[in-house]
Each structure stands twice: as structure tokens, then as C-alpha cells.
Amino acid sequence: MIGAPTDIGAKHRGSAMGPEAIRVAGAEGTLRRLGLEVEDWGNVSGPANPDAPPIGGYRHLKETVAWCEAARDAVYKALRAGVFPILMGGDHALAIGSVAAIARYCAELDTPFSVLWLDAHADFNTPQTSPSGNIHGMPVAIIAGQGPPQLTDIGSDKPMIEAARIIQLGIRSVDAVEKGNVVDSKLEVYDMRQIDEIGMLETMQRVLSRVREVGGHLHVSFDVDFLDPTIAPGVGTTVAGGPTYREAQLCMEMIYDSGLMASLDLMELNPAFDDKNRTAELIVDLLGSLFGEQILSRHELGR
């Protein structure tokens, strides 16, 4: 477990408190109860949030680079040590750091990788589509090679990953111009309409079969706003109409069952918007499912 306590790339302040809230909700104990060995490496550090306006289309670019590099170095250290990194944000810009680490690690092993992006948003903005310049709306574009070189170049290769190997799930808020970019970039998108039409079960079967096709390492980048705000109010950018509690659990259980996940981001939990830490507790509950907690095992039930 690695904490990255910053809201440097976000619209609303408060996700800097996310790592501590996840700890308070019992993440370490939940993983230990599943028989896992857990090490909490504490928090990486970086510059304070200056709350400054955007410069050249990006807000807090210099500070975001410093935080992403710190996250990258910690995640890379974990991967090299042969342990499974869980990066706790912090805002979603930090995923640029974890994906940079994974890209470098996988390049060294000459193994492919894919990213499963769980989010209400496509996070594919550019300064042209995001007047606010908040970088947490841009990480998918940046890891796919579109954005300021200070960030697109923090991995060993550019792009860090081809857009076609980024799979987005739960999307339900995409700006008009961003839409065109998402389509042109050939991201693999499973939006809420698809989940409505074919259900989470079949959607996840398709997602995981795509991940198997790519092979290698699967990185899961989980933005709390993926979840429906009625169950997860503790995030600064809620969008109505997300996965329900059961849909989210099924999604996590199926990721676990696939045995494919090799690294994880838990992003955008914002205790300033939460209600008595209930969103953090839900995240820890879902974390348990991602690591094998089940009502009864399918094996025990003979399925």
C-alpha cells in the first residue's frame, strides 16, 4: 500500500485526505483476513497545492509532475520488489505516475500490459476541451501520449500505452469535443448504456476477454466516481447513473476470478464530501472483493 495524499490535479480540494480514510476504513486488516501479507509503505510526498489558476492550459503542471514522479518511483520500486502495488490517491492525475511505472516495468520484462479504467469520465481532456485545466480530467489522454511533454514523457516510452489497450468501464460523462477524441483514439469503451443493455456479467466477460487477448500485466485504475453517487458520495465529481452496489461487487469479483490484475489505483476518494467515511468503507469492501473475498466460493457451491 502506497499513499499519495494530494489533490493537485483536482477541481475540488480534499482527495489529499483519501489515503488516510482508506486506512481508517480498515484496508490493511481486510487484506490480511484474506491471508495476504500486507506492507504499508506510508505516503509519498510532494509540493503543496498552491490553488493557482491554469498556465498555458494546465493547472499546477509543475506540482503534478513532481507528484506523478513520486508515485511512479514508489510503484516501480514495488513492482521490482515483486510485490503488488496499491496506490491510494489522491486525485486521478496520479495514475499517470503508476502507469509510467508499469510501462517501464513491462518494457524491461518485454511483456504487454493493459489498463482497465473504472470511471464515470473518459479522462481524455486536453486544454482545448477543458477550460479549467484540471489535470485529473486528462490522465488517459496523457498516458496515451497526448498532453504536455513534462507528463507524457515521465515513462520510459511515449506513449506509455497504446490507446487501444486502455479499456474504459462505467463511462457516462464525456464532453462534446472530448467525445470526438475518444472515438478517434480507439480507446475500448464500455459505457453505462452497454452495462444497461447487456448487464455487468456479459460486459465484464467482454472486458476480460479483451485483457486476455492483450496478455501480460493488467493495471486497474479505479476512480471512486465510477460508482453510483447514492452508494459513494465521497468524491468531488459525482455523476448519476453509475453501477449499483451489486454491479460493482460483481465487477470486482470477476476481476479477481480472472487472476489477471497485477496492480491497482484507488483514486479520488474525497473525505470532505463523504458521510462518516461510508464511501471509504465501501472502497475497502470492494478492495476485499478484488482480492478474493466472496460470499461463498464458487468452488464450495459446486459452480
Strands, E assignment, the chain: 2-4, 86-89, 113-118, 166-171, 188-191, 217-223, 261-267
User: Residue 153 catalytic?
Assistant: no
Residue 123 found at the interface with Mg ion (CB under 5 A):
yes
**Could you tell me the smallest distance in angstroms from the CB atom of residue 173 to Mg ion?**
8
Catalytic residue (choose from 136, 191, 228, 265):
136
Shortest distance (Å) from residue 211 CB to Mg ion: 19
| Residue 60 neighbours by CB distance under 10 Å | 26
The answer to whether 119 contacts Mg ion (rule: CB under 5 A) is yes
Name 202's Cβ contacts closer than 8 Å, sequence gap at least 6.
none
Counting Cβ atoms within 10 Å, is residue 54 exposed (0-12), middle (13-18) or buried (19+)? Answer: middle
Our CB check for Mg ion shows the closer of 119 and 253 to be 119
Instruction: Kindly tell me which residue out of 7, 191, 223, 253 binds Mg ion, with binding defined by CB under 5 A.
Output: 223
Judged by beta carbon, residue 121 or residue 165, the one nearer Mg ion is: 121
Dist CA 190 CA 122 (whole Å): 11
Catalytic residue among 123, 253, 265, 274: 123
**Distance (Å, rounded) from C-alpha 252 to C-alpha 237?**
22
Query: Binding to Mg ion by residue 225, rule CB under 5 A?
Result: yes
92 binds Mg ion (CB under 5 A): yes
Q: By CB under 5 A, is residue 172 in contact with Mg ion?
A: no
Nearest residue (CB) to Mg ion, 15 versus 30:
15
Nearer to Mg ion, 31 or 58 (CB): 58
Using DSSP, state whether 131 is helix, strand or coil. coil
Q: Which residues contact 23 (CB under 8 A, 6 or more apart)?
A: 1, 3, 40, 88
Can 7 be counted among the known catalytic residues? no
For binding to Mg ion (CB under 5 A), which residues are involved? 92, 119-121, 123, 223, 225
Residues tagged active-site = 92, 119, 121, 123, 136, 223, 225, 268
